[in-house]
Amino acid sequence: SSGGSSGGSSGGSSGGSSYTPDYDSYSSSSIVSVAKQYLGVPYVWGGTSPSGFDCSGFVMYVFGAHGITLPHNSRSMYSHGTAVAKKDLKPGDLVFFQNTYKAGLSHVGIYVGDGQFIHAPSSGRVVSYADLNSDYYVAHYYGAARYTK
């Protein structure tokens, strides 16, 4: 299943949140480095800080550390990024999953390379690595989006 729009950059200055990355302010390797700093942080529903993250709150926080404002919603994150084919994934890309705890696009993580991603999985668990090629994530894979160079 491919997602909806392939968003990309939006021009103009509305004064609100911008989902258009400033490519000079960060790199994919710095996204991954920051994400790794929060391995072991507990999952908290609605969490957006190092005291506890949910999946989109974790991604939002990591990108926010690089001056990139993302919505606290995996579906919106997907639609605002640039769609990337699974075979073209690079570290720092966002990977999205569907039909996990609810129908439709419902989970997001940060791809770190070598078939691995970092995410805030679910209640009772902690921010951790996961294998994109495991049966579960292959079955639930939705797509990927890029906010980095």
H/E segment holding residue 74: helix 74-80
Active site amino acids:
55, 107, 119
* Helix %, strand %, coil % of the chain (to 5): 25, 25, 50
Contact 68, 92 (CB under 8 A): no
Would you state the structure tokens that stand for residue 118, as one six-digit string?
Answer: 């970092």
Provide CB contacts within 8 A for 34, sequence distance 6+. Answer: 62, 65, 66
Q: CA 54, 58, 64, 65 torsion: positive or negative?
A: positive
